[in-house]
Every structure is written in C-alpha cells, then in structure tokens.
C-alpha cells in the first residue's frame, strides 16, 4: 500500500492557475467545527458578497446531523461563528470561521464543550488566566505506518530524534514548516515547534492565550495541521500512543498562569493550585482525553517521560511528574506550572475548563 495519498500527486502547478484568478470582490468563508465524535474537525465553504470585518458579518449556517429521532427536523444543527482567522490556503480576503454547534433547540450540541468552557472562563476572568498548550502529533502514511518508517521494520531506537536535523532523523519537516507559516498567516497564536522523541513525531506550541482563546486557537491550529498534511498526502495523528513498545506517546502538556502567579512571590499561588489539582486527580484524568481516560491509560504508564495514570505527583523540573514546575520558575519564584497529563487528542476546552474550575473557583461558584 502507498504511503501517501493519490490526491497529493495531482498537478499543483495547474491548481495554482485557478487559485490566482480574481474573485471580483467576493469572499469565500470556510466554516470549521468540531465533528460529532468530539475528536476531529469538519468544514464547508460559502460565498459572501464582501469581506467580513467582524463576526457580525458572517451569517449563521446549518448542518445536517442524522439522529434516531422520528422528527428529522431535530437533526438540523446550527453553526455559530465564534472566531475569525485568515485563510492561508485561498489567501485574503478569504476567511476561516471557527464555529460552535447548537442543536435544533439552540442549546449546545453534546460535543460543544466550548459553551461550558466559556462560562467558566467568564467566572475566573479576574485572575487573567493564561494558557499555553504543547500539541504533540505523529505523521502517518495512509498505510497507517509512521511516515518514513521502514515498511517491514523499525528505525533506530529513540535517542537521536528529539529536536533533530538530518534526513536520517527528521521525517516530514516540510509539513511542519508549512503548518507553522499557515498558522502565522491565519493569526493563530503559534509560538514554536520542534521534532519529538519518536521519528515522525513532532510538536507545536500555541499560546499564551487568555481564557477561551486557548481552545479556539488550538482547534484552528489542528485544522490547519490536518489540511497541510492533506496537501502532502499524509495523515497527522493525535493518537496518544500511536506505536506500542519502547516509543514515546503523544501528549498535550498544558501550561497555566494567572496574574498572581506571574507577580513577585507567585510561586505560592502555583503551589496552591497544584495542591488543589492533587485532590481531583481522578476527575481530571476522565476529561483529559475524549474517552474518559482510556486513551491516556495507554500513554501514562510512568515510563517514557510520563507519570502514572493512577497517582498524582508534582515536582520542580520533573518530566515524569503529573504536574511540573519548570526549573526557571522555581528559581525566580513566579511564572507558571505545566500539567503533563492531557493526551494529544484532548479537547482543549475541556482541559482548560477543568483546570480553571479546580484551581480558581470556590466550590459554591462551580
């Protein structure tokens, strides 16, 4: 079976002729939303008669989501634009519109975790919470094997791949660099990227983002990653443990900071937040992957730079802890902490809402 898709072999020079045609003042808007499973994304595009200047210029749309209901009118759901990005594939003036999904009765769809997250972030806004998420992923051929791996074997063991260079160590860099540029063009708050421990495994970082911004920007960064990978004919996998054996899994480490944590003496507030997290470990594990902890069960083994899924731990510069205080933060006495438990395929709205609820809300506020 081929390692790249047939679509990637289409004539891209011919495509460029059509992409360069003028649009006569019209604008394409691509609506992007989290699909029904809550793990991936979908999109569709429409024409507007002018470039939107704000969310109010992008109309609601709808999708058909088949249900078991006899009344099929209940299967129509609404796409509500919540954030606008520039489109790096068709270029300005065209836009990407990240959308929430509402049911027929205008209540949030089951997989619309943004709605709850937004309410939590509104309650904690006086803390000015900043988040940064480190999205690890693996490039796969369409045959399901990590891109560049031997078809009937394995590459050399882990060791030389992290932050590596060289054709024998870094697989798929073109995709990584094109994704980075696409994020910058779109307006996604991407702040870095690097090769990871397993060959064909990479990471990008998004942030700092305040409140609900975090989920919006990470979901759009994921959309761009999948679209760029599609152009190159490979698959970007967010599976938390794509290869069994002595290989690192993929996480989505989440960095958290508030105005008090960033101020002089902020380490005290960091330690208070970590203490609160320690009392709700099991609850957080259930929301840190979309399958109530079953995906993280494969990843959080206590090996390969992970903590055990069964126990909470914390420490300065400890990459094997549930929550890590970076060494520089420990030295300066202020900054942020890193929750290393979320899986690569987590919903960023669920993760940031859970952290904010546990760390910054009193029980009566929840």
Q: What pLDDT score does 69 carry? A: 53
Q: What pLDDT score does 67 carry? A: 57
Quick one: average pLDDT of 340-362? Answer: 97
Quick one: average pLDDT of 42-64? Answer: 97
Q: What pLDDT score does 74 carry? A: 76
Q: What pLDDT score does 58 carry? A: 98
Instruction: Write the Ramachandran bin of 60: left for phi over 0, alpha for psi from -120 to 50, otherwise beta.
Output: beta
Instruction: Write the Ramachandran bin of 157: left for phi over 0, alpha for psi from -120 to 50, otherwise beta.
Output: beta
- Does the structure show a pLDDT above 90 at 71? no
Tell me: cis bond preceding 93? Omega within 30 of 0 counts: yes
Quick one: average pLDDT of 203-211? Answer: 98
* Residue-by-residue DSSP string for 295-310: HHHHH-BS-SS--BTT
Residue (of 346, 331, 332) closest to 219 by Cα position? 346
- The answer to whether the Cα torsion of 344, 348, 351, 356 is positive or negative is positive
Q: Are 48 and 26 in contact (CB under 8 A)?
A: yes
| Continuous H helices in the chain | 12-19, 114-123, 173-186, 213-232, 259-262, 267-278, 281-287, 294-299, 327-332, 348-360
Q: Residue 153: CA atoms inside 13 Å, Cβ hemisphere, count? A: 4
Domain covering 121-360: architecture? 2-Layer Sandwich (3.30)
Quick one: average pLDDT of 215-233? Answer: 98
β-pairing, 201-210 with 41-48?
A: unpaired
Q: What pLDDT score does 112 carry? A: 95
Quick one: average pLDDT of 231-244? Answer: 96
Torsion on CA atoms 261, 262, 268, 269, rounded to nearest 10: -10
Q: Are 93 and 27 in contact (CB under 8 A)?
A: yes
Tell me: cis bond preceding 208? Omega within 30 of 0 counts: yes
β-pairing, 323-325 with 314-316?
A: parallel
The alpha-carbon radius of gyration of the chain (Å, integer) is 21
Instruction: Please state, rounded to an integer, the average pLDDT across all residues of the chain.
Output: 94
* Residue-by-residue DSSP string for 45-105: EEEESS--SSGGGS--EEEE---S-S-GGGGEEEEEEEEEEE-TTT-TT-EEEEEEEE-TT
Parts of the chain belonging to CATH 3.30.590.10? 121-360
pLDDT digits (tens, 9 = 90+) for 249-308: 999 999 999 999 999 999 999 999 999 999 999 999 999 999 999 999 999 999 999 999
Q: What is this structure's pTM? A: 0.96
Quick one: average pLDDT of 97-107? Answer: 96
Is the model more confident about 1 or about 66?
66
Q: What angle do CA 301, 303, 309 make, to 5 degrees?
A: 25
The whole-angstrom separation of Cα 14 and Cα 35 is 32
- Does the structure show a pLDDT above 70 at 222? yes
Residue 204, beta-bridge partner list: 135, 193
Q: What pLDDT score does 70 carry? A: 57
Q: What pLDDT score does 254 carry? A: 98
Q: What pLDDT score does 2 carry? A: 65
From 3.10.20.70, 3.30.1490.100, 3.30.300.30, 3.40.462.10, which CATH number describes the 19-111 domain?
Answer: 3.10.20.70
Tally of CB atoms within 10 A around 82 = 18
Percent of the chain past pLDDT 90, that is, above it, reads: 90
Q: What pLDDT score does 363 carry? A: 65
The whole-angstrom separation of Cα 273 and Cα 314 is 11
- Does the structure show a pLDDT above 70 at 364? no
pLDDT digits (tens, 9 = 90+) for 171-184: 999 999 999 999 99
- Tokens 């609900």, residue located: 212
Which are the contacts of 100, defined by CB distance < 8 A and separation ≥ 6?
Answer: 33, 79, 80, 82, 108, 112, 114, 115
Tally of CB atoms within 10 A around 181 = 13
Parts of the chain belonging to CATH 3.10.20.70? 19-111
Residue (of 85, 118, 177) closest to 348 by Cα position? 118
- Does the structure show a pLDDT above 90 at 75? no
């Amino acid at each position: 079976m081929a390692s790249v898709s047939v679509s990637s072999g289409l004539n891209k020079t011919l495509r460029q002729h059509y992409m360069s045609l003028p649009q006569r003042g019209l604008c394409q808007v691509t609506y992007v939303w989290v699909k029904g499973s809550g793990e991936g994304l979908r999109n569709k595009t429409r024409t507007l008669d002018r470039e939107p200047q704000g969310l109010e210029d992008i109309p609601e749309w709808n999708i058909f989501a088949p249900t078991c209901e006899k009344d099929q009118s209940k299967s129509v759901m609404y796409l509500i634009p919540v954030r606008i990005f520039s489109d790096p594939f068709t270029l300005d003036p065209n836009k990407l519109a990240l959308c929430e999904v509402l049911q027929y009765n205008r209540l949030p769809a089951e997989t619309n975790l943004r709605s709850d997250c937004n309410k939590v972030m509104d309650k904690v806004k006086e803390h000015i919470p900043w988040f940064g998420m480190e999205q690890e992923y693996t490039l796969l051929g369409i045959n399901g094997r990590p891109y560049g791996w031997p078809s009937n074997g394995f590459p050399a063991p882990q060791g030389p791949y992290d932050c590596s260079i060289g054709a024998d160590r870094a697989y798929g860099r073109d995709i990584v660099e094109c994704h980075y540029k696409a994020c910058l063009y779109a307006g996604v708050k991407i702040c870095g990227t690097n090769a990871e421990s397993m060959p064909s495994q990479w990471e990008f970082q998004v942030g700092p983002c305040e409140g609900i911004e975090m989920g919006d920007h990470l979901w759009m960064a994921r959309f761009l990653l999948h679209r760029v990978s599609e152009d190159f004919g490979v698959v970007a996998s967010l599976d938390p443990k794509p290869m069994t054996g002595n290989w690192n899994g993929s996480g989505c480490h989440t960095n958290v900071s508030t105005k008090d944590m960033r101020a002089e003496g902020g380490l005290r507030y960091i330690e208070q937040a970590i203490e609160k997290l320690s009392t709700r470990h099991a609850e957080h594990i259930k929301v840190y992957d979309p399958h109530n902890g079953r995906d993280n069960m494969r990843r959080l083994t206590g090996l390969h730079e992970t903590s055990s899924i069964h126990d909470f731990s914390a420490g300065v510069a400890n990459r094997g802890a549930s929550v890590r205080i970076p060494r520089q933060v420990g030295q300066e006495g202020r900054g942020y902490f890193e929750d290393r438990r979320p899986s690569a395929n987590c919903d960023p709205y669920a993760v940031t809402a859970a952290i904010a609820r546990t760390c910054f809300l009193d029980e009566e506020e929840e």
